[in-house]
Amino acid sequence: MSVQTAGAERRHPDHPSAGLPLEDAELTHAGPGTPMGELLRKFWQPVCLSSELSDLPKAIRILGEDLVAFRDHAGRVGVLHRHCSHRGTSLEYGIIAENGLRCCYHGWLFDIDGTILETPGEPVGSPLSDSFRHGAYPAREFEGLVFAYLGPPEEVPPFPILDCYVEPAGNRLVPFSVWHPCNWLQVHDNVMDPVHAAFLHAQMSNIQLTESYGEVPVLDFADVPNGIVYIGGRRIGDHVWIKGNHAMLPNMGQTTALWETANSVKYFTGVSLTKWIVPSDDTHCWMYGFRHFNEEVDPEGVGAEDECGVDSVDFFGQTGHRRYDESQREPGDWDAQVSQRPIAIHALEHLGTTDRGVVSLRRMLRQSVRRERDPLADLKAQCTSALPVHTYCYDTVLAIPPRAEGDDREFLRELGQQVVSALMDAEDYNGEERRAYLRQRMQQIEAANQ
């Protein structure tokens, strides 16, 4: 007898595992009309890199829809339904025009908003071009990524500018993408799975990040205004390292310093990786994101900006480009996530205490698709001013020696709660004032616990 998880309705038609329980369709299926697909459509989603739009259109598949992205000769970006509304020819073979995209078959010209500007084979005065519009979605560029909004046209949300885009001073955002032939959720789950970093990235083969990641963290989690953060406390000699990645609903994540060694005091540092996991369909997805380059998160300059781009990023094990035997000998995130099946079967998992973050993230997503919570309303509330939206991704390294008595693990958990409480107490501050406040609070926490 098969076991069906909450929300599971059907097996994907390409699913290779006959006889297995049904997948959790409520969370994993993201095509048009599905609960998760409709939720994702309410947010601006990255759909390609700006560098991919040159003198040719680009065929893309987003949330189960075949689309085409392009930049016209006026420099505007557009995202249109892929098939010409005249006779169905794919607009990936279209001709870039001064204003819009022209179908190669009969010369129809479509503006970036779907307006039909020309139907050159029709008689002069033909009403055809004014009788309907071609399918189009609002599109915009930001720092080298092209974003589209696929939701209801009357509900276009604000485009959020996050504090980590502009902080610290001198921060550089470098866009990248990574292709995954698997369901989007098993990639997104990773942001709330801090324990995998100790095993996959340090203990199981070679050191993929730093040796300090090999220490299994003491875990806790906290809700924040636009999602959830984990609180990972590690003892690194005479230092305590409190680390927190931030999952933002529905499909965005923020990661702290990739190469943190935790061998010196750092009161507050922020984001090194911002990413969106965007479904192409139920069994394929793209990770689009920004690598953050600044002296705060990478003082040794380990990162490589020139390695970030289309299906490429500058840290180990993130793409499927290695030989199979190489991936077997030293798997990375890509291998661990893609190999969970085309769609991970939640009913076959045996989750433990270290999976609390994954469980919490899935619960928040389920509440969102069932309209028991409204992450879009939360985001809109944060975009009511011209100030950047607060994020909650942090590294704090404090000079606090081991406890002479008592359970150091419980001490690490309590210390993590103090750090996150300080983070939440900083809500009324912005920009460098907020960062200065947080550094001061972390100094106070350090002094009180030495």
Tell me which fold the domain 45-155 belongs to.
Rieske Iron-sulfur Protein (2.102.10)
Predicted local confidence at residue 6, as pLDDT: 38
**In the chain, domain spans:** 45-155, 163-449
What does DSSP assign to residue 21? P
Query: CA quadruple 108, 113, 114, 118: dihedral positive or negative?
Result: negative
CB 430 within 8 A of CB 387: yes
Predicted local confidence at residue 17, as pLDDT: 53
Predicted local confidence at residue 2, as pLDDT: 32
Predicted local confidence at residue 87, as pLDDT: 95
Predicted local confidence at residue 145, as pLDDT: 98
CATH code of domain 163-449:
3.90.380.10
> Can you read off the two tokens belonging to residue 432?
């460098």
pLDDT along the chain (450 residues), means of 10: 37 55 94 97 98 97 98 98 97 97 97 96 85 95 98 95 96 98 98 92 86 91 93 95 97 96 95 98 98 95 97 96 95 97 96 95 98 95 93 96 84 95 95 96 95
Asked whether this chain's domains 45-155 and 163-449 adopt the same fold, the reply is: no
Predicted local confidence at residue 156, as pLDDT: 95
| Backbone φ and ψ of 193, nearest 5° | -125, 75
Non-local (6+) Cβ contacts of 448 within 8 A are none
List helix spans (H) across 124-250: 163-166, 184-188, 195-198
